[in-house]
Amino acid sequence: MVEKFIYTFATLIASKPDEIEVVRNDVDESFSEITIIADKRDTGKLIGKEGKMISALKSVISGCKAKEKRAYRITIKSHEE
């Protein structure tokens, strides 16, 4: 559910939505790391000015944390890394 939301969010913001990938890595039963992989130019858009876009995304995801009893970390990487 969270990955699908993040993927939709990222594709709506990105200039190249076809290059967006969302990868979920379950570290243990209560923690997951979600990585958004995008074009290098789109990483700035996803982070936003002063980190406001990624902060807003993290705020929305925190609601899922309460419901699913799972913590999430969101990381943004470019295809070139």
- Run means of pLDDT, 10 residues per run, the chain, 81 residues: 88 91 91 92 89 87 78 87 52
- The residues near 39 (Cβ < 8 Å, ≥ 6 apart) are 14, 15, 16, 19, 78, 79
Token couple for 73 = 């970390």
**Domain 2-78 in CATH: superfamily?**
K homology (KH) domain (3.30.300.20)
The domain limits of the chain are: 2-78
The pLDDT, as a whole number, for residue 59 is: 86
The pLDDT, as a whole number, for residue 20 is: 93
Helices (runs of H) and strands (runs of E) counted in the chain: 3, 3
The pLDDT, as a whole number, for residue 81 is: 52
Angstrom distance (rounded) from CA 24 to CA 48: 22
